[in-house]
A = this chain, B = another copy of it.
Amino acid sequence: MAGKRLEKMEENRAKLIAAARKAFAEKGFAHASMDELTADAGLTRGALYHNFGDKRGLLAAVVDQLDSEMAARAKEIGAERAGRDEGDMWQALLGEGAAYIEMALDPEIQRIVLLDGPAVLGDPSLWPSQNSCLAETRKGVSLMVENGIMKPVDIEAAARLLNGAALNAALWVAASDNPAEVLPKAVEAFALMAGGLRATA
């Protein structure tokens, strides 16, 4: 029966993060009220400041969670696509890129991770989570450069550019009048641009 405190605490943290995801996604970070948010979670601001320090701390926790989910999903999609071609690493990279573009259509990810996140927490490379998405892309790029599949480009630079292009494309798709029609164009253009990094066979 020991650890009942910690258990409750984790439960409350999860409740607050869940409520924050909803509030931040719907109203944006700036217009989300901490009073409302915590009340929705059945708690008060006291719990919030005790667990996360301040409003930014809560955002950081939310971003961390979303980022992890995104990286996992991208990896999954990439592996799935590579699987069709028996471990084709290049296809995996394109798959991950396409996955990022599609995921960013989700208002939660768009609003919180792509818009408010950088504005409030600074560049993703400075985030506490160290950005799992970026790490995933970096790993792929690194392997491909080693294997000669990709030109000998700077790992970090390539990862950043690929991620930046994908996420920015997603913002464009989301802001367009007809996302469903525009999405494939974005994915195609991404594949072409990424191709610039591929070693010339």
Contacts and interface: CB of A to CB of B under 8 A. Distances in A.
Contacts of A167: 164, 168
17 contacts: A29-B119, A30-B30, A115-B118, A115-B119, A125-B172, A153-B188, A153-B189, A154-B185, A157-B182, A160-B169, A161-B169, A161-B189, A161-B193, A165-B165, A167-B168, A193-B193, A193-B197
Contacts of A162: 193
A194 B185 CA distance: 16
Contacts of A164: 164-165, 167-169, 171-172
Interface in A161-201: 161-165, 167-169, 171-172, 174-176, 182, 185-186, 188-190, 192-198
Nearest to A118: B115
Contact of A125 (B29, B157, B175, B198): B175
Interface residues of A, number: 46
B119 A157 contact: no
Contacts of A168: 160-161, 163-165, 167-168
A188 B157 contact: yes
A175 B123 contact: yes
Contacts of A171: 118, 123, 164
Contacts of A119: 28-30, 115-116, 118-120
A15 interface: no
A126 interface: yes
B189 A165 contact: no
Given A118-B119, A161-B168, A168-B164, A192 B125 contact: no
With most chain B CB atoms within 10 A of its CB, the pick from A116, A160, A174, A196 is: A160
Contacts of A115: 118-119, 122
A139 to B, nearest CB: 17
A193 B190 CA distance: 10
